[in-house]
Chains A and B, each alone.
Chain A
Amino acid sequence: MKILVCISNVPDTTSKINFTDGDTKFDTNGVQFVINPNDEFGLTRAMWFKEKQGATVHVATVGDASVEPTMRKALAIGADEAIRINTEPTDGFYVAEQLAKVVKDGGYDLVICGRESIDYNGGMVPGILATLTGMNFINTCIGLEIEDKKVTAIREIDGGKETLSSSLPLVVGGQKGLVQESDLRIPNMRGIMMARKKALNVVEPVDGIKATTDAKFDKPAPKGAVKLANSVDELVDLLHNEAKVI
Chain B
Amino acid sequence: MSVIVYTESENGKFKKNAFEVASYASEVAKQLGTTATAIAINSEENEILGNYGISKVLHVKDDSLKTFNAKAYAEVVVTAAQKESATTVILSSSTDAKFMAPILAANLKAGYVPNVVAAPDSTQPFVVKRTAFSNKGFAHTEIKTEQKIIGVSNNAFGTIENKVDISIEDLKVDIKEDAFETKSVEIDKVVGKATIADADIVVSAGRGLKGPENWGMIEELADVLGAATACSKPVSDLGWRPHGEHVGQTGKPVASNLYIAIGISGAIQHLAGVSASKTKVVINNDPEAPFFKAADYGIVGDAFEVVPQLIEKLKEFKAQNS
Contacts and interface: CB of A to CB of B under 8 A. Distances in A.
B184 interface: yes
Contact of A233 (B145, B295, B313): B313
Give the interface residue-count category, chain B: 35 or more
A189 interface: no
Interface in A215-246: 215-220, 223-224, 226-229, 231-233, 235-236, 238-240, 243, 245-246
Given A121-B115, A127-B99, A160 B244 contact: yes
A162 B244 CA distance: 12
B275 interface: yes
B299 A229 contact: yes
Contacts of A74: none
A131 B143 contact: no
A166 B250 contact: no
A243 B258 contact: yes
Contact of B268 (A13, A96, A138, A209): A13
A225 B188 CA distance: 41
Interface string B105-118: 11101111111000
A156 interface: yes
Contacts of B138: 217-220
A35 to B, nearest CB: 13
Interface stretch (B34-42, B44-52, B190-198): B190-198
Contacts of B295: 226
B201 A214 contact: no
Interface string B78-111: 0000000000000000111011111101110111
A130 B189 contact: no
Given A118-B250, A127-B106, A177 B182 contact: no
A152 B275 CA distance: 35
B182 A246 contact: no
B62 interface: no
A132 B106 contact: yes
A216 B182 contact: no
B163 to A, nearest CB: 25
A165 to B, nearest CB: 5
Interface string B294-313: 11111110000010011001
Which 7 residue pairs across A and B have the least CB separation, nearest first?
A127-B102, A211-B111, A160-B189, A131-B106, A159-B195, A158-B197, A166-B182
Interface of B: 70-71, 94-96, 98-103, 105-107, 109-115, 125, 127, 131-145, 181-190, 193, 195-198, 200-201, 225, 233, 237, 243-244, 246, 249-252, 257-258, 268-269, 272, 275, 278-279, 281-282, 292-300, 306, 309-310, 313-314, 317
21 contacts: A11-B133, A13-B249, A17-B136, A19-B137, A123-B114, A127-B101, A140-B95, A158-B195, A160-B244, A164-B182, A165-B182, A211-B105, A211-B112, A212-B111, A214-B141, A217-B132, A219-B136, A232-B299, A236-B313, A236-B314, A243-B297
